[in-house]
């Protein structure tokens, strides 16, 4: 799976959930979520010039408390639940099919059936992990770490570091090997070092969780406590050598192309030749070592940490990586920390929901193919293509009129915009899963074999030409993305529904919803990360020095603006972490508004619906895709790890910088939604 450093998304992904027994009565299938600009979602008691997010979403927020099995509930989640029910229907039919099933139906149906067979999972208990735990126990010397690490990586156990394939940033049509930092159990490196009271307490709870898992493996309490301390010590050392989430936003900081011998020089105590042989990689000519200092730090740990301590660390990650797929004691312990403590969810999701997610994660193209057949109309790609073209035209016009950029840089910006590729709905070519053995009675085995297939598929790309047609999202995904090295945008079928796009709604609302989303992804090509990649996807500087300084000055305005917003309690947003998404939000809405004013016929421009003019409906349509409630725990987690701002600021932060919004709602100077020092990049 492509690293997040090369894929910017419209919204954050769902976080840290688990499995629970199926409920006695599940809710009936939902209808498609209500369209944007629903009058009932408004809070007309709020002055739109004071708090536009509350005005647009207040009614929805009041009517939609967070379900017990969620850590947040918003319009994305509402649509994801609708899609989940559609996928459930696909999977139940596939699982119940006869011996005449098509191969992909057998794969997805039997994987779903094995997940839903709770008695079989409970009966296996920790025995499902026996093979991996035995491999760890059999480790006789540190020289064998390379073989064991490769075998664990193959089935998705994230020990020591990450190793996969990646597009060469300087030779964008080539694929090379990539070695990156990894091996942690907490969400991000700074979780190991922050000294505020909540962070200190969270580390204590994490250590207690690790101890709890060791006890479930059969360790005595004292032995489990000592093991948890060992894990924390090793992970803290690895975290110290890692880059934080803000530093990782700079693609130049993550590009260090080396020969295998140069990597070995950083980390001579780890047998990289042995690892490559065990992982069955193609011949390695070069490796992008994302964070060289991490591998220097890993070298120190391999030399100083004892073999028994490494075995303790490896045991932890074996059980940690599989906990959600094991028997209920492991599932419950995993959820207690990663669900309740980290995100504030109150209860495990129904088993069927998690089983749907496991199939999507493991056999996404097979499930996606059936999903598209069941839900995505033949005209979907055509409708979206027209919208994308309208947004690209608007950005073209915006660039031409941009007062701060010189003609030399504009010329290159037009080249990049014209080269941007669009992936809409679903891929033209599906992955072939025919070599994976999937049975209805081996849940964890199915997951491991699927993970090994995907690991090998990624590694086999090394040394081959880049496949620019490949997708990084599955079709049912409720999200969208821009990939800087590929210079393309992706809009899966899953998001091309209400409230983001609804053919029954007027153009103003659709341009505010999916139009702003398209504009958001296009603008990512010109945010603080995207602007560092050229039209062909190469990491190269196509800006004049003067224009780069002008961009940075305007970007810093946004950093300061969002850095003043409070995420939760005493924790403010990190304006540098969220810069790219904030720039994309602002630019996306602006060019979507430009496209809307050109698309809406003159006669319609004067028409009001529910007392709102087309301009007003545009901004309501944009705002209502972001309506959401969050638990305080989840708000704290994502403020430290996620590059997206909370929904309230994605709305108010954008409109408060826009004269177009202020004119639409008659906001006067001095109103909260009229920033005296308005920020604008695009």
- For CA atoms 521, 432, 443, 278, the dihedral sign is negative
- Contact between 364 and 104 under an 8 Å Cβ cutoff? The reply is no
- Contact between 667 and 49 under an 8 Å Cβ cutoff? The reply is yes
The number of angstroms, rounded, from the C-alpha of 416 to the middle of its chain's C-alpha atoms is 25
Q: Which two tokens stand for residue 76?
A: 């994305």
* Residue among 198, 245, 61, 59 nearest 568 (CA): 198
Residues in CB range of 494: below 8 A, 6 or more apart: 79, 80, 83, 371, 474, 475, 476, 477, 478, 479
DSSP class of 465: B
Q: Which residues pair with 257 in a beta bridge?
A: 288
Which spans in 96-189 are helix H?
A: 103-116, 118-124, 130-137, 145-154
* Residue among 526, 576, 573 nearest 551 (CA): 526
**Exposure b/e, 507-525, CB count within 10 A at least 16 = b:** bbbbbbbbbbbbbbbbbbb
The single residue of 547, 585, 633, 642 carrying the catalytic annotation is 585
Residues in CB range of 532: below 8 A, 6 or more apart: 251, 252, 484, 539, 540, 541
- Count how many residues are written for the chain: 682
* Residue among 487, 466, 479 nearest 422 (CA): 487
- Contact between 132 and 152 under an 8 Å Cβ cutoff? The reply is yes
Integer Rg of the chain from CA: 25
Is 300 designated active site?
A: no
- Contact between 419 and 536 under an 8 Å Cβ cutoff? The reply is yes
3-state secondary structure of 283: coil
- Contact between 176 and 166 under an 8 Å Cβ cutoff? The reply is yes
Q: Is 25 exposed, middle or buried (0-12, 13-18, 19+ CB in 10 A)?
A: exposed
Is 521 designated active site?
A: yes
3-state secondary structure of 217: coil
d(CA 279, CA 57): 50
d(CA 574, CA 559): 8
The interaxial angle of helices 52-63 and 614-624, nearest 10 deg, is 50
DSSP class of 504: T
| Token pair 């600009």: residue | 37
The single residue of 51, 168, 271, 521 carrying the catalytic annotation is 521
- Contact between 428 and 469 under an 8 Å Cβ cutoff? The reply is yes
Catalytic residue numbers, as ranges: 521, 585
């Amino acid at each position: 799976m492509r690293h997040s450093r090369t894929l910017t998304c419209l919204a954050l992904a769902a976080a840290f959930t688990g499995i629970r027994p199926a409920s006695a009565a599940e809710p009936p299938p939902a209808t498609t979520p209500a369209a944007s600009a629903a009058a009932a979602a408004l809070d007309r008691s709020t002055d739109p010039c004071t708090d536009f997010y509350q005005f647009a979403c207040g009614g929805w927020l009041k009517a939609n408390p967070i379900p017990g099995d969620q850590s947040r509930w918003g319009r994305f989640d509402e649509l994801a639940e609708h899609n989940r029910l559609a996928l459930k229907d696909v999977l139940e039919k596939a699982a119940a099919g006869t011996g005449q099933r098509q191969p992909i139906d057998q794969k997805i149906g039997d994987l779903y059936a094995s997940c839903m067979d709770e008695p079989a999972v409970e009966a296996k208990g920790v025995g499902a992990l026996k093979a991996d735990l035995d491999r760890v126990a059999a480790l006789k010397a540190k020289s064998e770490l390379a073989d064991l690490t490769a075998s664990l990586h193959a089935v998705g156990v994230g020990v020591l570091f990450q190793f996969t394939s990646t597009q060469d940033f300087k030779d964008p049509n080539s694929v090379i090997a990539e070695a990156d930092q990894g091996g942690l159990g907490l969400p991000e490196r700074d979780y190991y070092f922050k000294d505020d009271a909540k962070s200190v307490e969270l580390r204590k709870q994490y250590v207690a969780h690790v101890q709890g898992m060791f006890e479930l493996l059969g360790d005595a309490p004292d032995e489990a406590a000592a093991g948890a301390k060992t894990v924390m010590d090793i992970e803290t050392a690895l975290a110290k050598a890692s880059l934080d989430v803000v530093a990782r936003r700079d693609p130049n900081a993550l590009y260090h192309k080396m020969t295998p011998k140069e990597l070995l020089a950083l980390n001579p105590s780890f047998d990289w030749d042995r690892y490559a042989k065990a992982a069955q990689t193609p011949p390695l000519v070069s490796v992008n070592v994302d964070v060289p200092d991490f591998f220097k730090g890993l070298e120190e740990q391999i030399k100083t940490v004892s073999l028994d301590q490494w075995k303790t660390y490896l045991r932890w990650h074996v059980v940690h990586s599989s906990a959600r797929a094991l028997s209920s004691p492991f599932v419950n312990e995993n959820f207690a920390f990663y669900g309740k403590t980290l995100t504030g969810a109150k209860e495990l999701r129904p088993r069927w929901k998690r089983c749907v997610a496991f199939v999507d994660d493991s056999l996404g193209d097979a499930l996606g193919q059936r999903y598209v057949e069941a839900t995505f109309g033949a005209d979907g790609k055509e409708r979206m293509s027209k919208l994308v073209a309208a947004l690209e035209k608007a950005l073209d016009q915006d660039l031409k009129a941009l007062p701060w950029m010189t003609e030399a840089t504009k010329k290159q910006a037009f080249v990049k915009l014209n080269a941007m590729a669009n992936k809409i709905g679903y891929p033209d070519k599906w992955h072939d899963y025919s070599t994976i053995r999937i049975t209805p009675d081996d849940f964890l085995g199915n997951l491991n074999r699927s993970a090994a297939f995907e690991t090998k598929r990624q590694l086999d790309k090394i040394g081959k030409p880049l496949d620019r047609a490949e997708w990084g999202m599955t079709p049912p995904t409720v999200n969208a993305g821009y990939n800087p090295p590929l210079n393309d945008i992706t809009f899966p079928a899953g998001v091309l529904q209400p409230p983001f796009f609804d053919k029954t709604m007027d153009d103003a609302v659709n341009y505010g919803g999916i139009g702003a989303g398209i504009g958001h992804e296009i603008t990512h090509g010109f945010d603080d990360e995207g602007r560092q990649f050229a039209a062909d996807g190469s990491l190269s500087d196509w800006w004049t020095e003067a224009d780069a300084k002008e961009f940075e000055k305007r970007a810093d305005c946004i950093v300061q603006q969002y850095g003043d917003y409070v995420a939760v309690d005493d924790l403010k947003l990190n304006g540098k972490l969220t810069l790219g998404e904030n720039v994309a939000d602002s630019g996306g809405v602006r060019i979507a508004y430009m496209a809307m004013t050109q698309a809406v016929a003159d006669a319609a421009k004067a028409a009001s619906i529910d007392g709102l003019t087309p301009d007003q409906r545009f901004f309501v349509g944009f705002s209502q895709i972001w309506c959401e409630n969050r638990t305080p725990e989840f708000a704290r987690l994502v403020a430290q790890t996620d590059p997206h701002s909370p929904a309230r600021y994605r709305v108010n932060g954008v409109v408060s910088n826009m004269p177009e919004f202020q004119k639409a709602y008659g906001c006067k100077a001095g109103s909260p939604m009229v920033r005296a020092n308005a920020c604008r990049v695009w």
